[in-house]
């Protein structure tokens, strides 16, 4: 799922854990996943037929925001521990 998102490849996630639903929702792709009990040939075919409905602009914008946040937090963390850790 993560590789497909990063590559902009349509997919159907079988959300067997809440982490899948959380990731999809955080990127605006909540409709790209189903619960295991909903998985069927018809659901897979419907996902394939609707593969052009992904909002990749929003998803990749959110990924960029997460990346920027991670970079700023890591910079802050390193500055905060500067001199406190011996290498």
DSSP 48-71: HHTGGG--HHHHHHHHHHHHHHHH
pLDDT number for residue 82: 78
Sequence spans of domains, the chain: 2-81
What tokens were used for 58? 């929003």
pLDDT number for residue 74: 92
| CA gap 39, 35 in Å, rounded | 7
pLDDT number for residue 87: 56
pLDDT number for residue 42: 96
| CA gap 82, 66 in Å, rounded | 24
| Predicted structure pTM score | 0.77
Average pLDDT by consecutive 10-residue portion of the chain (87 residues)? 94 95 95 95 95 94 96 91 68
**Residue 14 DSSP label:** E
- 87 and 56 Cβ atoms separated by less than 8 Å: no
pLDDT number for residue 81: 86
């Amino acid at each position: 799922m993560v590789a497909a998102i990063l590559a902009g490849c349509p997919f159907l996630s079988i959300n067997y854990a809440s982490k899948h639903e959380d990731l999809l929702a955080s990127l605006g792709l909540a409709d790209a996943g189903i619960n295991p009990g909903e998985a069927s040939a018809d659901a897979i075919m419907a996902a394939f037929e609707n593969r052009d409905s992904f909002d990749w602009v929003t998803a990749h914008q959110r990924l960029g925001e997460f990346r920027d946040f991670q970079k700023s937090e890591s910079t802050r963390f390193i500055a905060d521990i500067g001199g406190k850790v011996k290498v």
